[in-house]
Amino acid sequence: PYWLTSDSQRIRTIAIPLPDGETRRRLAVQLYPEIPESDRDTPENIFANTLANLTHNMSLNAMTDIFDLALANHKPASDIDEAVQSYRVGDINLESPWRSDLLRQNILDAEDPESDGYIGKRVKGQRKAISKVFDILKRISVGLTGAQSNAIGGRPRGVLFFAGPTGVGKTELAKSIAQIVFGDQNAYKRFDMSEFSEEHSGDRLIGAPPGYVGYNEGGELTNAIREQPFRVLLFDEIEKAHNKILDKFLQILEDGRLTDGRGDTVYFSESLIIFTSNAGISRERRDGSVEYLVSPEDSLPPDEFERIIMGGIKDYFRKDLRRPELLNRFGENIVIFNFISPEVAREILTMMIDNVRRRVEDEHDLRLDISEPVTRKLNNLCVADNLVNGGRGIGSRLEEVFINPLARLIFDQSPKPGDTLRLTQLDEKDGIHELHGE
């Protein structure tokens, strides 16, 4: 324990390294004869190699526990990988969604424009980005992630890096992935990395070290994985985190595990990790001002836009962070989102207005009849100057010029349930927008 060695000149802590691959393999060979003959459906050498590879960065005690778990649940030698998975997630009865037929069907539905689950209904104007994400999901679902490497250890099921302007669907696509893979868009945990801009804030992720306040509580990240190992982890605006905190991600991406402040290890082998970033869109000058590298008005060809963004991302990791090794962990899994077009912006506005209609009907049993002049005015007010801020900017503007005036109108007129409220005119006076209805 920490208190035993702290501030003691007579006691020295000696770190005992974890066993290497050959040591793990020799233990697996020794364990093999204990498998009942009826369950020895795999030759000894294949069993030993598989168990040794799957237990990378584990202790020999952990290997023995995994083997005992397999025996207790009558697993044949060929299913030792299931015992390793059960050990990591802490439950022998959990069924992995990555192996289910439902995942395949959900992917097919999300790609089908005629399906209710079509992803294009939620994320608009990002066809190329969505296509790349589906390629990665399909690769994960058939077990070919990292197939070019000999390592088959406990790395996360997948790692994605979403780059591009704000408000273009990065977070919404992450929610959609959670819905596709786990059947629940809430099966994702979001971390706003702007809250981790200080070096000490890393304790929130893995827990305070021994001797500090909150030591027994664990960390937000490690607790989340311990409670539910099958989930999407979203690290939003990663460039706002402190450089030291990013070092923790190297261990997660490489080894698929993290040890919290209490000394307990959690495994990320069943999670999908997504990072989002606005890097490459702008950069800060020496005088503190911001220089935009791209804007919606540039109307750049997609390949040129991606080249500029990729250049900005590489500069950020190599020059600003000086962490090229972290960039290398993402490989070709960097997905670039473009600015939304005026046509897509109008689609998003229409979708948001429809959401307002449904909310008014649910809350007040009122039908909204929006006249053509009001619709035209909303397009002019919400779309024209908000492409740089994407859907988020459109939503903020709609709240100001439409939802607030609508709320005032409903509050002041108190229409009866079942009525139809026709919105005939949208005016502005002294910077305040006002709706007229009948």
Nearest Cα to 396, choosing from 349, 437, 429? 349
CA distance 60 to 318: 38
Amino acid at 386: N
Mean pLDDT along residues 150-174: 85
Does the pLDDT of residue 1 top 60, yes or no?
no
Q: List, for residues 214-247, the tens digit of each pLDDT value.
A: 677 778 999 998 888 888 999 999 988 988 888 8
Tell me the CATH number for domain 98-336. 3.40.50.300
List, by residue range, all CATH 3.40.50.300 domains of the chain. 98-336
CA distance 26 to 68: 17
Does this model's pTM top 0.75? My answer is yes
Q: What is the pLDDT of residue 7?
A: 67
Q: List, for residues 256-308, the tens digit of each pLDDT value.
A: 888 887 778 888 988 999 999 988 887 777 787 777 788 887 878 889 999 99
CA distance 333 to 310: 12
291 has which bridge partners?
283
Q: 433 pLDDT band (50/70/90 cuts)?
A: very high
Share of the chain above pLDDT 70, in %: 94
Higher pLDDT, 101 or 133: 133
Amino acid at 209: P
Q: What is the pLDDT of residue 420?
A: 93
Q: What is the pLDDT of residue 30?
A: 95
- In terms of C-beta distances under 8 Å and separation of at least 24 residues, what long-range contacts does 257-261 make, across chains too? 257/57, 257/154, 258/206, 258/221, 258/222, 259/206, 260/206, 260/207, 260/218, 260/219, 260/222, 260/223, 261/203, 261/206, 261/207, 261/208, 261/209, 261/210, 261/212, 261/215, 261/218, 261/219
Q: List, for residues 378-407, the tens digit of each pLDDT value.
A: 999 998 766 888 999 999 999 999 999 999
CA distance 206 to 267: 13
Residue pair 401/378 in contact by the 8 Å Cβ criterion: yes
For domain 342-437, give its CATH number from 1.10.8.60, 3.20.80.10, 3.40.640.10, 3.40.190.80. Answer: 1.10.8.60
CATH topology of domain 2-92: Helicase, Ruva Protein; domain 3 (1.10.8)
Mean pLDDT along residues 306-326: 88
Residue pair 301/393 in contact by the 8 Å Cβ criterion: no
List, by residue range, all CATH 1.10.8.60 domains of the chain. 342-437
